[in-house]
Copies of this chain bind each other. A is one copy, B any other.
Amino acid sequence: MLMTLTTDFGLKDPYQGAMKGAILSVNREARIIDITHLISPGNILEGALVMLESCGFFPKGTIHVGVVDPGVGGKRRPILVETERFLFVGPDNGLFSLVLRNEKVKRVVHLTEERYFRKEVSNTFHGRDIFGPVAAHLSKGVSPSGFGPEITDILGISLPEPEREKGVIAGEVIYVDSFGNIITNINGSDALSFGPDASLELNGKEIKGLKRTYSEAGNGSPLSLISSSDFLEIAVNAGDAGKAFNARVGDKVFLRAKG
């Protein structure tokens, strides 16, 4: 059974290894795929975006475990979300709210059945002690309804929404990736509706026209295009747009129709 992990545990510390050990101690046959362990510590929105851009590509039946959990040990509930295609396991803090937009939720369960946890549950590491073991039991075929009572009021977080006026969309930077490509919250179809001659402004710099590929711009030249996840993206061909535009999450982006 396939299981993915998205956490902020880092890749040096023993935490992601310990969590994998706890999973495999329940189900030796679990096949664990790392999405990432490098979410910025405690950054739920970043974790939600990475899950949005990756979980949906996995085959039906995959169990997605997400642990970005600054409230560990406190009042936030541990939950399980069953959708038509997937199971999600993690804290009820909004981490799944973006990826769930694309899924049909069948039920949400508050994880209360302690027999599916590690025998000793620490107050600081529920990835190892609750979420991993629960995911492992799920992968062995335990029914989602066996883990606790059904609930309906899970926490959501939302992406900032762009503002639209006649001929202008005012959006913002939501992510800068390791290539320096700048992802905005303006979706692809909205951007395309402005035509190929629209212009884009970010931090006082302008880009004219939408390209289809990086290499349509000259080496080292900035361009905008539709990202692989269908957002408006700003890049530099063979370069780092994040540095060139000094871009940070939250910076305003203006898309303007020509003329």
Contact = CB atoms under 8 A, between A and B. Distances in A.
A13 interface: yes
A16 B137 CA distance: 26
Contact of A34 (B17, B19, B54, B212): B17
A36 B12 contact: yes
Contacts of A129: 228
A122 interface: yes
A128 B228 CA distance: 9
Interface in A24-50: 24-25, 28, 32-39, 41-42, 49-50
Interface residues of A, number: 72
Given A20-B33, A33-B20, A25 B70 contact: no
A25 B59 contact: yes
A54 B213 contact: no
Number of identical monomers bound together in the oligomeric complex: 3
Contacts of A229: 14
B123 A212 contact: yes
A12 B226 CA distance: 21
A14 B34 CA distance: 10
Interface stretch (A71-79, A107-115, A145-153): A71-79
A4 interface: yes
Given A13-B50, A20-B33, A74-B215, 6 more contacts: A10-B179, A19-B57, A73-B214, A73-B215, A122-B226, A122-B227
26 contacts: A4-B21, A10-B177, A10-B179, A11-B11, A12-B38, A12-B178, A14-B36, A14-B50, A14-B51, A14-B54, A14-B229, A17-B34, A17-B54, A19-B57, A21-B58, A24-B33, A25-B57, A28-B59, A41-B178, A41-B180, A71-B214, A72-B214, A74-B216, A123-B212, A123-B226, A124-B213
